Amino acid sequence: MTQRVQLATVMDRLAVDEVVTDYAAAVDDGDWEAYQRLFTPDGRADYRSAGGVEGSAREIAAWLAENLRLFPMRQHLIVNRRVRFETLDQDTGDTARVRADYVNPMRFTADGAGAAAPDFVCGGRYAFGLLRTYDGWRLTEVVVQEKWRRLPEPDAARVTD
């Protein structure tokens, strides 16, 4: 591999990593327009393993906007990223696959009585598919594989004998 090819590969890895990071930030910030811009026009996402839906980026953004209103605080942590470049139409490096683990702590909306809002935490693995476009790397698919979740503990003060 020449130095030029090595440099191009490093630049692609950084660009792909940025898309994954931008994905997490868009979800955490509730920026659904930015979320949709990360996808190719035919890009899709599948959240069914986490109790969600599968659909186009537009459909998923609408579903996330509705369902994540329960959680005003969200913080995706996407780690252990494994990036692999693939071949498309004889051109090496036009597609990429990323497998990455996630931990996603979220806080429920506080009740009006001033009680502290409980936390909800889940974790699992993402499978991202990406395509190099004229506008840079874009997501063709996102598949969520939720592996675990921790629900809030029942409020001990509400438990009666």
Q: Give the count of domains, the chain.
A: 1
Residue 62 lies in a domain: yes
pLDDT at 42: 97
Residue 157 lies in a domain: no
Tokens representing 67 are 């369902």
Residue 89 lies in a domain: yes
For residue 88, the cross-strand partners are 91
CA 33 to chain centre: 14
Question: Tens digits of per-residue pLDDT, 102-135?
Answer: 999 998 877 655 556 678 899 999 999 999 999 9
Are the C-beta atoms of residues 95 and 130 closer than 8 Å to each other?
yes
**What CATH number corresponds to the domain at position 64?**
3.10.450.50
Tokens representing 16 are 């792909």
Residue 161 lies in a domain: no
Name the pLDDT band for 151 (thresholds 50, 70, 90).
confident
Interstrand relation of 136-150 and 39-46 (parallel, antiparallel or unpaired): parallel
**Which domain, by its residues, includes 126?**
3-152
Question: Tens digits of per-residue pLDDT, 25-53?
Answer: 999 999 999 999 999 999 999 999 999 99
- From the list 42, 129, 143, 44, the residue with the least C-alpha distance to 94 is 129
Arithmetic mean of pLDDT, 145-154: 85
Residues 6+ apart with CB under 8 A from 160: none
Examine the pLDDT at 161 and tell me if it is beyond 50: no
Residue 159 lies in a domain: no
Interstrand relation of 54-56 and 119-133 (parallel, antiparallel or unpaired): unpaired
Name the pLDDT band for 157 (thresholds 50, 70, 90).
very low
Residue 25 lies in a domain: yes
pLDDT at 1: 64
